[in-house]
């Protein structure tokens, strides 16, 4: 029997996949683990994809040092 799900397919590298899985747990997204680099976000729409994208950006920013941070550090 064939099941049809509506949603979004996410392709990413293995660590990012872990990250997406981690936030999905917090935000209660329904995710299907396909393989090492693919995830399927069940019922995923633009809003949830944006949320994931935003969290990823936050992670990147956190781990990036910028010379302009100097002032913030002080």
What is the closest distance, in whole angstroms, from the C-beta atom of residue 40 to other proteins in the complex? 17
Stretch that binds other proteins, among 7-15, 38-46, 47-55 (CB under 8 A): 7-15
Q: Binding of other proteins at residue 35 (CB under 8 A)?
A: no
Which has the closest alpha carbon to 49: 16, 9, 17, 15?
Answer: 9
15 interacts with other proteins by CB under 8 A: yes
Instruction: Please give the C-alpha separations between residue 25 and each of 21, 31, 43, 61, 72, in angstroms, as whole numbers.
Output: 6, 9, 15, 22, 32
Residue 40 in the binding site for other proteins (CB under 8 A): no
- Site for other proteins, rule CB under 8 A: 13-19, 21-22, 36, 59, 62-65, 67-69, 72-74
């Amino acid at each position: 029997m064939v099941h049809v799900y509506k949603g979004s397919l996410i392709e990413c590298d293995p660590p990012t996949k872990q990250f997406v899985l981690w936030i999905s747990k917090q935000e209660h997204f329904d995710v299907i683990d396909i393989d090492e680099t693919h995830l399927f976000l069940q019922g995923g729409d633009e809003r949830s994809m944006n949320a994931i994208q935003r969290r990823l950006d936050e992670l990147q920013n956190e781990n990036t040092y910028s010379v302009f941070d100097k002032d913030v550090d002080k």
